[in-house]
Amino acid sequence: NAGVTQTPKFQVLKTGQSMTLQCAQDMNHEYMSWYRQDPGMGLRLIHYSVGAGITDQGEVPNGYNVSRSTTEDFPLRLLSAAPSQTSVYFCASSDSRATYEQYFGPGTRLTVT
Partner 1 sequence: AQKITQTQPGMFVQEKEAVTLDCTYDTSDPSYGLFWYKQPSSGEMIFLIYQGSYDQQNATEGRYSLNFQKARKSANLVISASQLGDSAMYFCAMREGEYTGNQFYFGTGTSLTVIP
Instruction: Kindly list the residues in this chain that would bind partner 1 in the complex (CB under 8 A).
Output: 31, 33, 35, 40-45, 48, 50, 56, 58-59, 88, 90, 92, 96, 99-104, 106-107
Backbone angles phi, psi at 84, to 5 degrees: -65, -10
Is the CB of 75 or the CB of 107 nearer to partner 1? 107
Q: Is 97 helix (H, G, I), strand (E, B) or coil?
A: coil
Closest separation between CB of residue 78 and partner 1, Å?
Answer: 20
For the bound state, the minimum distance from the C-beta of residue 94 to partner 1, rounded and expressed in Å, comes to 8
The sign of the torsion formed by the CA atoms of 52, 72, 83, 15 equals negative
